[in-house]
Structure 1
Amino acid sequence: MYKNKVVFVTGAANGLGNAIAKAYAKLNAFVIAIDIVDTKFNEKNIDFYKADLKSEDQIKNVFKDVVKKHGSVHVLINNGAISKFNKSIFDIELSEFDDVISVNLRGSFICSKEFIKANEGENYGRIINIASTRFNQNEAGWEAYGASKGGLISLTNTMAISLSETPITVNAISPGWIKVDDYELSDIDKKQHPSGRVGVPKDIVNACLFLTNEDNDFINGSNIIIDGGMTKKMIYIDDKWNL
């Protein structure tokens, strides 16, 4: 399905990005994996580039080299993010807020700009922005992360319109709780989800593969929430009610 397609995945060292990169490689795409952390892939059709999403020059240089080698890029998955940062609004420094926005939102914008140029002349192009359900529902202390993901949703909406004269579609995926690390889950962790379980990377991978399918060009400007139904659930704190 993805043979001869070049797929660019940011934040590919671990977690969701790693699973996404390997899934496309398994389907015979040539994958460009980007991360600030050095990473080795066993797959022959994955090329790793170390790059900081805050650096416009580094991102431009990666795209320049990829286009030189492959001629074009067909799919961009903007997954790279500072994802575990939370800090009280009373304590967070502006520099810390700026770092999260610079990586999560500005970095995705730079990659998108370079992707649009790299995709020029093609009849197929896909951008997927990995956002989060925290764009809409949140907890205290997640201002920076939530704002970055909210901005990513807005960026998705606008780019879909701006690129309407091109073959590029732009969509977002907002994951809820996705278990990417090795830790134990309680029964409550699972049962509080209407789907009866916590998400796994494959749930996000499947959505990416669907949205970037060459036949799916009518899904555009959408944000697909993949959270097992949690954001549809009304939760009240009541000592008489247990999950």
Structure 2
Amino acid sequence: MNHPDKHFIVTGAASGIGRAVALRLVAEGGTVTAMDTDGAGLGDLCREAGGAAAVEPVVGDVAEEGDVFGCVERAEQRFGRLDGIVCNAGIMKRMAVEDLSYEDWHRVLDVNLSQSFLFARHGAAGLRKSGGAMVLVASTRAFMSEADTESYSATKGGLVALAHSLAVSLSPKVRVNAVAPGWIDVSGETLRPVDHEQHLVGRVGVPEDVAHAASFLLDGEKAGFITGQTLVVDGGMTRKMIYAH
């Protein structure tokens, strides 16, 4: 096991990548405080992970400082330590820039980007005590874009920069890295052969691909010399030049 007796906070844990990360950390001997706005989804996660001994569910909004503070406090009170934080929760509002309201722009920034600042602010003391780590879930949208994704892309680029900034500020006790997933099938959508073919590994990603990467970066022995970096997990998609014929 990679994480025996270690405790982690994972946000956006009720579904998709966050759920896969939480389950991976539990499978590797850790415990998880799982935060999400979806209480029912957190309940399903707890049952799949083996119950309350492994997962502490926290219903809350990562964009609200009081909820973030409460999550960190609950994790430390329940498990007595904090070894890692995975800031995964995220939203997208895909619309033309002319139609994107300033309120919607700020909501995406608050959820996707500001949560990592808030968890660093309130979790730094616990992470310093344990010599822990943070993983910020960015995206390949930090480096490339589709139309009408300005708010989302801006936040993911911001997470890449925030990861190396926090790595400097919280050193030497705390490591901070980012993962940048590419196309990850989080909903079981129907995929075409061409969808898989545009990846060098021959397939679209699954949440477990990101979970393994996050687990590795949280491991103070295996990844103890890695900080301030962004690990791209995209099956090589951003390295393949595609021309229309």
| Same topology, TM > 0.5 | yes
Aligned with 2:185 (options 179, 183, 186): 179
Whether 1:231 aligns to 2:238 is: yes
Aligned with 1:68 (options 60, 77, 80): 77
Aligned with 2:158 (options 130, 148, 151): 151
Q: CA deviation at 1:206?
A: 1.2
* Number of equivalenced pairs: 235
Match of 2:33 in 1: 32
Give TM-score, length-normalised by structure 2: 0.92
Identity of aligned residues (%): 33
Paired residue type of 1:88:
A
Structure 1 distance, partners of 2:101, 2:132, is 38
- Contact 2:181–2:234 (8 Å) recurs in 1: yes
Match of 1:205 in 2: 211
- Partner secondary structure for residue 78 of structure 2: helix
Whether 1:105 aligns to 2:127 is: no
Structure 1 distance, partners of 2:128, 2:212, is 27
- Partner secondary structure for residue 109 of structure 1: helix
Structure 1 distance, partners of 2:160, 2:202, is 27
Q: CA deviation at 1:211?
A: 1.1
Residues 115-134 of structure 1 aligned to structure 2 (within 5 Å): 115-122=123-130, 124-134=131-141
- Partner secondary structure for residue 129 of structure 2: coil
- Partner secondary structure for residue 128 of structure 2: coil
**Structure 2 residue ranges without an equivalent (≥5):** none
CA deviations over 1:4-31 (Å, ceiling 9, x no partner): 1111100001000011101111122111
Q: CA deviation at 1:229?
A: 0.9
Superposed CA RMSD: 1.2
**Structure 1 residue ranges without an equivalent (≥5):** none
Aligned with 2:61 (options 52, 58, 61): 52
Q: Which has the higher helix share?
A: 2
Whether 1:94 aligns to 2:79 is: no
Paired residue type of 1:116:
A
Q: Which has the larger radius of gyration?
A: 1
Structure 2 distance, partners of 1:192, 1:4, is 40
